[in-house]
Amino acid sequence: MGKKVALTGDMAAAEAMRQINPDVVAAYPITPQTEIMMNFAQFKANGLVDTELVRVESEHSAMSACVGSAAGGARTMTATSANGLALMHEVVYIAASSRLPIVMAVVNRALSAPINIHCDHSDTMAERDSGWIQIFSQNPQEVYDHIFLALKLAEHHDVLLPVMVNQDGFITSHGVEPVELLDDEVIKNFIGEYIPKYPLLDIDNPITYGPLDLYDYYFEHKRQQVEAMENALKVYPKVAEELSKITNRKYPMIEKYNIEDADYIIVTMSSAAGTTKYVVEKLREQGKKVGLLKIRLFRPFPIDEVAQTLAGKKAVAVLDRSASFGSFPPLAEEIKNSCYDLENRPPIYSFIFGLGGRDLLPAHIEYVFQGLMENKFDTKRIEYLGVRE
Partner 1 sequence: MKAKLKGWKEMPIGGVIDEPGNAKAYKTGGWRSMRPILDKEKCINCYFCWFYCPDNSVIVENGDVKGVNLDYCKGCGICAAVCPKNAITMEEETKFLKE
Fill in the amino acid letter for 287: G
Check binding of 220 to partner 1 (CB under 8 A): yes
By CB under 8 A, tell whether 343 contacts partner 1: no
List of residues 6+ apart from 237 with CB closer than 8 A: 253
- Choice from 53, 177, 209, 371 touching partner 1 (CB under 8 A): 209
List 205, 248, 286, 344, residue binding partner 1 (CB under 8 A)? 205
Q: What is the DSSP string of 116-178?
A: --S--SHHHHTTTTTT-EEEE-SSHHHHHHHHHHHHHHHH-TTT---EEEEEETTTTTS--EE
Taking CB under 8 A as the binding criterion, the range among 6-14, 213-221, 250-258, 293-301 that sits at the site for partner 1 is 213-221
Minimum CB distance to partner 1, residue 156 (Å): 13
The verdict on 340 binding partner 1 (CB under 8 A) reads no
- State which of residues 8, 21, 83, 98 lies at the interface with partner 1 (CB under 8 A): 98
Q: What is the gyration radius of the CA atoms in the chain, in angstroms?
A: 21
For the segment 68-97, give every residue that binds partner 1 (CB under 8 A). 97
Q: Find the helix packing angle between 184-191 and 9-20, rounded to 10°.
A: 70
Per-residue binder mask for partner 1 (CB under 8 A), 255-294, x = binder: ----------------------------------------
Taking the CA of residue 162 as centre, how many other CA atoms within 13 Å lie in the half-sphere pointing to its CB?
A: 33
| Smallest gap from residue 220 Cβ to partner 1 (A) | 4
Q: How far is the CB of 8 from partner 1 (least distance, A)?
A: 35
Question: How near is the Cβ of 100 to partner 1 at its closest, in Å?
Answer: 7
Q: How far is CA 308 from CA 144, 242, 270, 302, 338, in A?
A: 29, 25, 22, 10, 9
Output the smallest distance, CB 370 to partner 1, in A: 50
Angle between helices 35-45 and 9-20 (to 10 degrees): 40
Q: Count CB-CB contacts under 10 A for residue 55.
A: 16
Residue selected from 74, 100, 105, 133 as contacting partner 1 according to rule CB under 8 A = 100
> Is the CB of 162 or the CB of 329 nearer to partner 1?
162
> Cβ 99 to partner 1, closest distance in Å?
3
Contact 273, 121 (CB under 8 A): no
Partnered with residue 25 across adjacent β-strands are 53, 77
Identify whether the C-beta of residue 318 lies closer than 8 Å to the C-beta of residue 268: yes
Question: Which CB atom, from 123 or from 155, has the smaller least distance to partner 1?
Answer: 155
How many chain residues interact with partner 1 (CB under 8 A)?
23
Residues from 149 through 178 that contact partner 1 (CB under 8 A): 160
Which 224-253 positions form the footprint of partner 1 (CB under 8 A)? 224, 227-228
Distance of alpha carbon 292 from alpha carbon 294, whole angstroms: 6
**Does 198 help bind partner 1 (rule: CB under 8 A)?**
yes
Distance CA 247, CA 232 (A): 21
Question: Which among 1-9, 216-224, 241-249, 260-268 is the span making contact with partner 1, rule CB under 8 A?
Answer: 216-224
Q: Which of 221, 234, 249, 381 binds partner 1 (CB under 8 A)?
A: 221
Any residues with CB less than 8 A from the CB of 133 and at least 6 apart, and which?
A: 150, 153, 154, 159, 161, 162, 163, 164, 229, 232, 297, 299, 300
Contact pick of 114, 206, 287, 326 for partner 1 (by CB under 8 A): 206
- Whichever of 46 and 208 has its CB closer to partner 1, that residue is 208
Orientation of helix 330-339 relative to helix 303-310, angle to 10°? 70
Residues at the interface with partner 1 (CB under 8 A): 97-100, 160, 197-198, 205-211, 213, 216-217, 220-221, 223-224, 227-228
